[in-house]
Structure 1
Amino acid sequence: MKVAFIVSEFPVLSETFVLNQIIGLIERGHEVDIYADQLGDRSKIHPVVERYRLLERTYYLPPVPKNLLLRVLKGLSLLIVNGYKDPLLVPRSLNIFKYGKQALSLWLLYTAIPTFKKSYDIIHCQFGTQSFRGMAFRNINAPRAKLITTFRGHDISKHIQQHGEHVYKKLFETGDFFLANCEFFRNRVIKLGCDEKKVIVHRSGLNCDKFIFSHRCLPADGRVRIATTGRLVEKKGIEYSIRAVAKLALFNPNIEYNIIGDGPLREELQQLIQQLKITHLVNLLGWKNEREIMEILNNAHLFIAPSVTAKDGNQDAPVNVLKEAMAMGLPVISTYHGGIPELVEDGVSGFLVSERDVDALAEKLGYLIEHPEIWTEMGRAGRAYVEAHYDLNKLNDQLVAIYRQVLTTDLDTGQQHSPLQTVRHRYS
């Protein structure tokens, strides 16, 4: 199969779930091209990007300005360039009688590729926010391809709050199939108007072989190391875990809290650490590469992911860092947030508390520190659950099966088994 991935930015160090799917498809013999709005940070590139020479497969489309006047002005230069290279392309991209709003809004003009000679079976939009580019890409470049969109988090939470519940109406009418990375977001997609027969859960997986399981036990010096990995943004809730550690330290100062990641809240969180007088306990480590992260997690005893719903509505699915920690045998503490309860079973692989509940976070941390005898059992339960439900190889096989089923099934007439029935039956 020939597949086009539509993404916002590439490469992005934090979006390993996209890389995992691209590599999985390539290793299974399929052709994959990547279409992005902007170039990612070249100084922080995942090793597989170079190993598989993914930048040679990547094409950058001109970003569509949000400001309409600026969009028109920049569009004039595209008219000249595209008209020179491909005289028939400009009239097609501006045909409002055929394409309506997509042509009038200039989305087709900004997405049209002069003398386009590629063909695709599947156009896969990563995040619903990229579906607008994906719909334009199919209309102007590859009209015979099937359009699939994966909803992952901010696209089905923050984006809805900002743009309204009808923002994906056209996509639901014209898209061929939809994926959500957890049941929580699948239900939301259906509520927004998507045909439930056209959307299934397809989780983001990881290669469990890369994450070595180890039994956790109390160290000889009694110092318990706690870890968190994530961007320093509001929805990660790191403010509340810092406050919980400060509260816990009043009774148990023999702890160390390492926070891996960077982001816009770094300075604010550093000030909070200083105000709480816990600079000797809490470390903001910044971005680390994969090897460094695994080394820190391997030396940790507990993991915390205190996700919250941000003021702009942004929410998380079952976050990959939780899966990685569980795969390595770490007991975890997280929140009743988004799709996280689908990953962490309260009292089995860790604990769940309400969002922003500092007292509950401190209580559960304290309980785990006082009961190291349950760490191994919780770690085993977490590892087993991740292996059973988030194995990358199985999920990449499932993605290929979904593609093939979409290509061979007419969802509107119901001929053959629907992808929903077939894929669920095969991988249940």
Structure 2
Amino acid sequence: MSRAIIFRKDLLPYSETFIAEQAHHLPSWEPIFCGFKRNTAGFNLIEQKSVAGKDYHVCIESDFSRAPKLTSGLHKKLNILNKNWLLELKKLSPQIIHAHFGSNALNCIALSKALNIPLLTTFHGRDITINKHKKKQDENLKKVFNSSEKIIAVSEFIKRKLLERGCPEEKIIQHYIGVNTHKFKPSEDDAVEGKVVFVGRLVEKKGCEYLIKALQKIGPEKNIHLNIIGDGPLMSALKELSNEAPCNITFLGRLSPDQIVDEVQSAQLLCAPSITASTGDQEGLPISILEALSCGTPVVGTYSAGIAEAIDDGNNGFLVKERDTDAIADRISSITEDKDLRKKLSVNARQTAVTKFDLDKQSSLLEEIYKGL
């Protein structure tokens, strides 16, 4: 049995369920979830011993140390590995390390050498777009580029960013993560009239404030109501802003994956008003958009980052310029008011997800990348 280390420093942030989903859908490789410590908020995503009858493994450095903070610090700063952790990993005989996010890959270089296996790194967005401390970032990126056998870009947009930052083109493979089209599927029930959903962390690049400001321009007679799913540092500010909107806005906080399916299925549209943050932080390609498409839920997104690689304007959703609240309001009104338009967008949305972003197909392609290392 071939095995791949799936590395994330914290296992596993709740906003990164796509890492677990991708690993669990590998057709024949067994994943070894590996990191420095547990992230208790999302660890339940990998706490079982098998998913759908398929085995996997968890090997976390902090489990093998009496002083986990010290040993993790030694690893990150001095490349000194915890010997017991390393021995346990060797017993599992992994063939590759697949690190998610460039910053995490930096911590895998010594591990890759110690295990004598190739390193594959996936760049998702902020790990290549943020432009703060650029000199130090460029030094670290160069180390990751040099040490990785191949680099995966989750969108064509991220591929362009990698090239701009000096990644050798021959190392880059553009590969979409994909969405579970069996789980995220159209509901047999009609969507709730006027229901709009937003799914994502409440941070600047997600642009949620512009969705709320757009709704301030839609009169109460339109009966629009917005459910905001997710949490983050901007929660309080967004709640205050929502008080000025003439429609009903509900902050649902963090929901389980199954609850998110229900919310997206029952909405007439999902809005993803992403922007370029003040730090340069941008999306790769938001998984929430792919989940909505898979449910047959039309998307109103922006011409930001890789979003246009999933949304065909006027065909399976709409695209607007970043921060264009008038256009966001107009597209929301069009979708919620026009049943025929909504039906057309819905059918095409589902077709896009199944043909271009199906997780089973994409995970099979990922295994081919693994085999080629």
Q: TM-score range by the shorter chain?
A: 0.7 to 0.9
Instruction: Judge conservation of contact 1:218–1:372 (CA < 8 Å) in 2.
Output: no
Instruction: Label 1:37 to 1:267 Cα distance change in 2 as closer, same or farther (>3 A).
Output: same
Which of 41, 49, 52 is the matching residue for 2:50?
52
Report 1:219-234 matches (<5 A).
223-234=193-204
- Whether 2:110 is the aligned partner of 1:142: answer no
Q: String of CA shifts for 1:233-282, please: whole Å, max 9, x gaps.
A: 111111110110111126x44111111111111111111112x154x511
In the TM superposition, residue 43 of structure 1 has moved relative to its aligned partner by 7.2
Between the two proteins, the alignment pairs up a number of residues equal to: 363
Residue identity matched to 1:382: A
Alignment of 1:289-368 (within 5 A): 289-368=256-335
Q: Which amino acid aligns with 1:150?
A: T
**Contact in 2 for aligned 1:217/1:376 (Cα 8 Å):** no
Cα distance change of structure 1 residues 309 and 215 upon mapping to structure 2, 3 Å threshold: farther
Structure 1 SS opposite 2:21: helix
The AA in structure 2 aligned to 1:4 is I
Instruction: Tell me: CA distance 1:11–1:350, structure 2 relative to 1, closer, same or farther (3 Å).
Output: same
CA contact (8 A) 1:124 1:149 kept: yes
Q: Which has the larger radius of gyration?
A: 1
Greater relative contact order structure (CA < 8 Å, 6+ sep): 2
Q: Residue 391 in 1 paired to residue 358 in 2?
A: yes
Selected match of 1:263 from 218, 225, 232 = 232
Measure, in 2, the Cα distance between the counterparts of 1:307 and 1:341.
Answer: 11
Stretch of structure 1 that moved more, 376-385 or 168-177 = 168-177
Query: Is the counterpart of residue 195 in structure 1 residue 168 in structure 2?
Result: yes
Percent same amino acid among aligned pairs? 30
**Mapping 1:61-76, distance limit 5 Å:** 61=61, 74=70
Normalised to the residue count of structure 2, the TM-score between the two structures is 0.88
Q: Deviations over 1:36-73 (max 9, x none)?
A: 12211257733x642627998223336xxxxxxxxxx9
> Contact 1:165/1:192 (CA < 8 Å) preserved in 2?
yes
Are the structure 2 counterparts of residues 114 and 284 from structure 1 closer, same or farther at C-alpha, using a change threshold of 3 Å? Answer: closer
CA distance in 2, matches of 1:76, 1:405: 31
> 1:178: how far off?
1.0
- Counterparts of 1:209 and 1:296, CA distance in 2: 16
In the other structure, the counterpart of 1:174 is 147
Partner amino acid for 1:202?
A: H
Structure 2 runs not aligned, ≥5 long: 63-68
Is the alpha carbon distance of 1:247 and 1:51 closer, same or farther for their aligned partners in structure 2, counting shifts above 3 Å? farther
Distance of aligned partners of 1:239 and 1:362 in 2 relative to their CA distance in 1, 3 Å threshold: same
Are positions 1:12 and 2:13 aligned together? yes
Q: Distance in 2 between matches of 1:44 and 1:74?
A: 22
Partner of 1:371: 338
Q: Does the 8 Å contact 1:303/1:333 carry over to 2?
A: yes
CA contact (8 A) 1:124 1:134 kept: no
Superposition deviation, residue 344 in structure 1: 0.5
